[in-house]
């Protein structure tokens, strides 16, 4: 028989049991505190960063520290007991991101982010000229962002079309023949004048590669740096651009354009500007951007686009893409995701919003949704899209749609954009759809801008031409050419056009053949970059946004040889490459415009005289001291003329144009 326990032992056992129950209750409560109910603000999706700000809410519970974990690392989150937030490192590809309490691997919330950026090192070239030596170094080169790895190899090489071989100061083979492996490079100044391009390729320990190109200039045996943030490519000085709208070339888009490239090249143009060829909804001209990384299926495949670029470049034509960074279509998958899921969408913060919280549209076009450039991922996405077409297809530049729109929201963006693109290819031509009269654009990333007034979209020559026999308002034209009272900013390149995608009815349809011929002569002889738009050379009449039907490529007005002659003048006459223009007076100023384009030497000066009336006349020129005289050659008509220095007068036919230079 067992002994009965004492009262003291019973009390002790009860106390021990109570303590155990209390400890169990406390542990249970702590376990509840260590397992809060966490939820991310948005669902996962595509990411355009290696360092993403991710947040969420705490619905119940508490713990000392919330952590966010990804394949790239674990970071502590800020928390106020109701919300948590952390900047999470990510890697290229799919990243499983978890949120939970510190010290436990249990995840209270989980999502996945697919990083779309390529994780690679970034090659940068520093270039300087000092003591007759060209110094290049790769010291600014950066490791990959997602998985950083040491740079293990630097290779320098020269572009094959440089004016002369590039020889290292230390001797050995020219880098045109054998890449030089070193972090720094010193080159002798080459003897031949011209621009020289040097490419740096960097390799990291994981085998990832990137490259950048630098440029320097040699003039009269002296080398100098090229300021890639300020200077435009040298080839643009002689450029004549042909605007290509694939809808008007035929039903197969890229293939139809490719078939006409030889005829376009025969005009003497140096570049083609393709209207938007990136993915867009059917029936849209192309400015409703659906995907900046894909070509438009109506125009063909990406392989066909690549073949078009290669063939154009083989014919000496650079390829400029029309690109849309300001907004996207309401068919873009990111906008559709926001429309479907609202604030749960990972792209909710990608769009500009008004005071009412609604997504802002471009003007009053509800199908075009403005991007929010305060979002770093939007900026990364846009730069990656531009760079894709340069790296993958080798395009030579961009006409940037609504460049002014991005400027209104993030004026600092274009400098960053330019630096990245010029790092890849310093020869890119960057054209803003914005007014050349605004100094911001050429100081903040662009090489050229439009011949607009200060008013958005208003052509500087819009009120000049008349459809009746009264000709043109030359007082307005003179003011437009000189921008009287303000002056164009220094080093501003101006896009000169009679027609483009936004000018509606074609110039020839509004003003007739005669005015078209004299206006084209003006367009090609004033400072700037002239544009021949689809069908100008045959006098085609259409509305661009009608998107077809394809043109019949016949020239009833004999304009094709005329445009070819103007393009040749632009290409071969140094006086027409400069930004200088001096008005010359005459005694028919209501009908005749005369101006001087100073050349590198007085013998190369060019005098341009244009009759904007529908009848022949004689114009006597004033301020004769600056004019060429004696035996002259009309470069446009290819005929000799003599100008009497005592009484310089010219007989001009109706809508006539002469371009005079001293005869050799």
Q: What is the pLDDT of residues 407-440, one digit of tens each?
A: 999 999 999 999 999 999 999 999 999 999 999 9
For 103-106, the CB contacts below 8 A with 24+ separation are 104/34, 106/35
Q: How many CB atoms lie within 10 A of CB 213?
A: 19
Q: How far apart are CA 53 and CA 75, in angstroms?
A: 11
Output the pLDDT for position 487.
57
What pTM was computed for the model? 0.92
Q: How far apart are CA 640 and CA 659, in angstroms?
A: 11
Q: Helix, strand or coil for residue 507?
A: helix
Output the pLDDT for position 1.
38
Output the pLDDT for position 488.
64
* 43 close to 341: Cβ distance less than 8 angstroms: yes
Cα of first residue to Cα of last residue in the chain, in angstroms, is 139
Q: How far apart are CA 460 and CA 487, in angstroms?
A: 13
Read off the pLDDT of each residue in 80-105 and give the average, rounded to a whole number. 94
Exposed, middle or buried: residue 115 (CB in 10 Å: 0-12, 13-18, 19+)? Answer: buried
Residue 280 CA, chain-centre distance (Å), reads 18
Output the pLDDT for position 610.
98
Output the pLDDT for position 106.
82
Q: Helix, strand or coil for residue 74?
A: strand
Nearest partner of 117 among 387, 394, 349, judged by Cα: 387
Does 104 score more than 90 pLDDT? no
Q: Per-residue pLDDT tens for 349-372?
A: 999 999 999 999 999 899 999 999
Q: List the domains of the chain with CATH numbers.
A: 37-115 (2.60.40.10), 126-226 (2.60.40.10), 236-325+386-572 (3.20.20.80), 327-370 (no CATH), 582-662 (2.60.40.1180)
* 319 close to 396: Cβ distance less than 8 angstroms: yes
Exposed, middle or buried: residue 253 (CB in 10 Å: 0-12, 13-18, 19+)? Answer: buried
Output the pLDDT for position 199.
98
Read off the pLDDT of each residue in 84-106 and give the average, rounded to a whole number. 93
Output the pLDDT for position 64.
85
- The region of weakest confidence among 2-11, 223-232, 636-645 is 2-11
Question: Residue 79 belongs to what H/E stretch?
Answer: strand 78-79
Q: Per-residue pLDDT tens for 560-584?
A: 999 999 999 999 999 999 999 999 9
- The region of weakest confidence among 10-24, 162-176, 391-405 is 10-24
Render 593-631 in DSSP notation, one character per residue: EEEEE--SSGGG-EEEEEE-SSS-EEEEB--GGGS--EE
Does 451 score more than 50 pLDDT? yes
Exposed, middle or buried: residue 275 (CB in 10 Å: 0-12, 13-18, 19+)? Answer: buried
Q: How far apart are CA 229 and CA 422, in angstroms?
A: 8
* 53 close to 78: Cβ distance less than 8 angstroms: no
Share of the chain above pLDDT 90, in %: 86
- The region of weakest confidence among 465-474, 585-594, 620-629 is 620-629
User: Mean pLDDT over all residues of the chain?
Assistant: 92
Q: With bands split at pLDDT 50, 70 and 90, how would you rate the model's confidence at 483?
A: confident
Q: How far apart are CA 100 and CA 118, in angstroms?
A: 29
Q: With bands split at pLDDT 50, 70 and 90, how would you rate the model's confidence at 16?
A: very low
Q: How far apart are CA 395 and CA 431, in angstroms?
A: 14
- The region of weakest confidence among 92-106, 395-409, 416-430, 551-565 is 92-106
Output the pLDDT for position 36.
79
């Amino acid at each position: 028989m067992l002994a009965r326990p004492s009262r003291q032992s019973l009390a002790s056992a009860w106390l021990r049991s109570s303590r155990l129950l209390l400890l169990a209750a406390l542990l249970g409560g702590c376990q509840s505190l260590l397992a809060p109910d966490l939820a991310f603000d948005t669902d996962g999706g595509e990411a355009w960063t290696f360092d993403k700000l991710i947040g969420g809410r705490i619905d119940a519970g508490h713990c000392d520290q919330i952590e966010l974990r990804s394949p790239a690392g674990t970071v502590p989150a800020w928390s106020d007991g109701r919300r948590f937030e952390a900047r999470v490192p990510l890697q290229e590809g799919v990243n499983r991101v978890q949120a939970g309490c510190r010290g436990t691997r249990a995840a209270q919330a989980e999502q996945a982010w697919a990083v779309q950026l390529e994780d690679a090192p970034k090659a940068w070239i520093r270039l300087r000229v000092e003591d007759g030596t060209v110094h290049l170094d790769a010291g600014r080169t950066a490791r990959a962002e997602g998985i950083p790895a040491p740079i293990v190899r630097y290779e320098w090489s020269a572009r094959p079309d440089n004016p002369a071989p590039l020889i290292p100061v230390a001797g050995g083979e020219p880098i045109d023949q054998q890449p030089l492996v070193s972090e720094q490079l010193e080159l002798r100044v080459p003897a031949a004048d011209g621009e020289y391009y040097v490419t740096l390729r960097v390799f990291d320990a994981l085998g990832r590669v990137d490259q950048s190109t630098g440029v320097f200039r040699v003039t009269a045996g002296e080398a100098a740096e090229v300021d890639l943030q300020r200077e435009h490519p040298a080839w643009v000085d002689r450029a004549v651009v042909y605007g290509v709208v694939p809808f008007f070339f035929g039903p197969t888009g890229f293939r139809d354009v490719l078939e006409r490239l030889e005829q376009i090249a025969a005009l003497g143009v140096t570049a083609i500007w393709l209207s938007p060829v990136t993915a867009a909804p059917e029936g849209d001209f192309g400015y409703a951007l659906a995907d900046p990384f894909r070509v438009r299926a109506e125009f063909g495949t990406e392989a066909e686009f690549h073949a078009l670029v290669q063939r154009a470049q083989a014919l000496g034509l650079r390829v400029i893409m029309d690109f849309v960074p300001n907004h996207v279509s309401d068919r873009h998958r990111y906008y559709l995701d926001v429309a479907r899921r609202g604030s749960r969408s990972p792209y909710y913060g990608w769009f500009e919003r008004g005071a009412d919280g609604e997504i802002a549209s471009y003007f009053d076009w509800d199908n075009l949704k403005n991007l929010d450039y305060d979002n770093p991922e939007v900026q990364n996405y846009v730069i990656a899209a531009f760079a894709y077409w340069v790296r993958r297809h080798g395009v030579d530049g961009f006409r940037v749609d609504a460049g002014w729109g991005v400027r209104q929201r993030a004026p600092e963006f274009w400098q960053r954009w330019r630096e990245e693109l010029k790092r890849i290819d310093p020869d890119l031509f960057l054209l803003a759809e914005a007014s050349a009269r605004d100094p911001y654009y050429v100081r903040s990333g662009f090489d050229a801008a439009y011949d607009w007034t200060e008013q958005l979209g208003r052509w500087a020559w819009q009120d000049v031409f008349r459809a009746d026999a009264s000709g043109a308002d030359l007082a307005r034209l003179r003011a437009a050419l000189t921008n009287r009272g303000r002056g164009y900013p220094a080093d501003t390149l101006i896009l000169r056009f009679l027609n483009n995608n936004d000018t509606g009815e074609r110039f020839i349809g509004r003003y007739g053949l005669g005015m078209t011929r004299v206006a084209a002569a003006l367009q090609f002889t004033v400072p700037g970059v002239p544009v021949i738009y689809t069908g100008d050379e045959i006098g085609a009449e259409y509305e661009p946004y009608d998107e077809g039907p394809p043109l019949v490529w016949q020239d009833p007005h004999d304009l094709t040889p005329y445009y070819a002659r103007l393009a040749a003048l632009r290409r071969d006459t140094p006086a027409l490459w400069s930004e200088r223009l001096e008005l010359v007076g005459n005694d028919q100023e209501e009908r005749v415009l005369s101006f001087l384009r100073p050349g590198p030497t007085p013998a190369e000066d060019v005098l341009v005289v244009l009759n904007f009336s529908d009848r022949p006349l004689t114009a006597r020129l004033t301020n004769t001291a600056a004019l060429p005289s004696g035996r002259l050659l009309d470069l446009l008509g290819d005929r000799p003329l003599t100008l009497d220095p005592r009484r310089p007068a010219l007989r001009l036919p109706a809508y006539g144009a002469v371009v005079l230079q001293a005869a050799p």
